[in-house]
Amino acid sequence: MDAQIYINRSLRLDKIKSIGFDMDATLAIYNSPQSEELAFILSINRLVDIGYPEELRETKYQAEFVARNAWFDKKFGMLLKTDEHCNILSAFHGFRKLQKTACFKYFRKEIRRLYPNKHVALDESRIYVLNTVFNVPEALLLAAIVNYFNTHEESYTALAEETGFKRRDKNQVIPYSTIFNDCRNAIDWIHTEALMSHVMGSRWRELFDVVIVDGNKPKWFLQDIPFKEIDVATGATSIGVHSGALTKGEVYSGGCASEFKHRMNLHGKDILYVGDHIFGDVLNITVVTGDDLDIYLKKNLFSLLRAREFGSRCDGDKQGTNSFSDTLIY
């Protein structure tokens, strides 16, 4: 049964002009939990390099601390576990859990101070859902940083409105939203560069016509978000919006499917997207590939990518596939 292929629609590869690849669990297959721990360590190092406290390097990876589907509240810095109706079941601020058992009245008072009805709306501008296995080290990273500021009261004090911290010696305000953005930026490019270099070699960008990080699927397929350019030497995102052509060898942050199709002169049926995540990669895309077809394509399209790397041609070129445009979206 494992060798069989199941399809839910016909597909003419000779009509496909562009193939998009997800990275996590598609181009890069991970060993867990070692890969999550490595992502956590690399991200900590990146944050320290851009100015976060050196002591954060001493933080140990705790695989058992967080599970998938936690929510991070960018306003109050809370990791939340909710039910299907968005009612809060448990809450962590850093590594401190708001306890019900020891003093239920205190828990109720503490949680209701921030969430009056013990309920939080799923507002994407405020709530980030950590719903994949690759979000696990990110959740731990957020908790570790909040915990550090919480436990170093001699250097940092909580803001009166409880939306972040203030550094005592520099009069510097650090909102939870800034911590979240720094963590996302630390993970995105460092994560992509390190893993793709390991999987396909240091010249991996030559295999793709367009490389996009911080795709933030499924929003990438649904919303209008501008492209920004990444400095591949530093990992920094450029200021302002990238309005020119999408150039091979460069790396872009964000963007959206509609703008990508416009700049590449493509239509929906010209594109085949290969992914692994049912919600992010399948349910929200016009061109749908099922998991079994996806696995089959990964085995065969790697030969196409390798052929391009060494400048040779594959048999499919005779059928018109030499016009392929390959895109990596992370």
Please identify every residue annotated as catalytic.
22, 24
C-alpha 188/C-alpha 198 separation (Å) is 16
Burial class (CB in 10 A: 0-12, 13-18, 19+), 210: buried
Q: For residue 245, what are its two tokens?
A: 């052509």
Neighbours of 268 (CB within 10 A): 11
C-alpha 170/C-alpha 121 separation (Å) is 35
Element spanning 16, H or E: none
Burial class (CB in 10 A: 0-12, 13-18, 19+), 24: buried
Taking only Cα atoms into account, the Rg of the chain, rounded to an integer number of angstroms, comes to 22
* DSSP single-letter state for residue 283: I
Query: How far is residue 252 from each of residues 25, 208, 308, measured CA to CA in Å?
Result: 21, 12, 22
Q: Among residues 95, 97, 128, which one has the least CA distance to residue 111?
A: 97
Secondary structure of the chain: what % helix, strand, coil (to 5)?
40, 20, 40
Determine the 3-state secondary structure of 80 from DSSP: strand
Give the pairing type, strands 164-167 and 325-329. Answer: unpaired
Q: For residue 15, what are its two tokens?
A: 């009509």
Neighbours of 283 (CB within 10 A): 11
